[in-house]
Amino acid sequence: MDSFMRRAVQLAVDNVREGGQPFGAVLVKDQEAIAEGVNELHKNYDVSGHAEMLALRRAQARFQSNDLSGTVMYASGEPCPMCLTAMYFAGVQKVYYCASVEEAVEAGLGKSREIYEDLKKPKEARSLPMVEMPLEKGQEDPMALWKKR
């Protein structure tokens, strides 16, 4: 096993021992660990406080950039849809993980699989309703304003 993955797994083990969930992540660029994270939901009551999200946030703060192109994420567990999406937005080039979503389900952590399945459905069939609301007449259009920038 790669040293970065060993570190991600050790972070996850330590987090479980401290009362958290079994997830750790290490973000790497040019064979150097640039940021780490563990799920901190139990500490901060923040559903976005996942290991991968925190590693991304820390790297972006460190480099004062949203662009993390050329980085590689090592995660103790298969990333959830939120974390995976954030990695797409940040430009992460590859993700390695140990435990699959199916293994997480077996351990009692099955929300990711439910969300992945829900996202495969058309918008109108998903469990979280999404309703488009047009701008009011005369209301400034933020997208139009962005295009003019």
Catalytic residues: 52
Distance (Å) of CA 59 to CA 19, 46, 55, 118, 147:
25, 19, 6, 30, 29
Say how far apart CA 143 and CA 105 lie, in whole Å: 40
Strand partners, 73: 27, 95
* Alpha-carbon torsion (55, 59, 64, 66), positive or negative: negative
Residue 43 token pair: 């500490």
Return the residue matching tokens 């918008």: 123
E strands, the chain, where? 24-29, 32-38, 71-77, 94-99
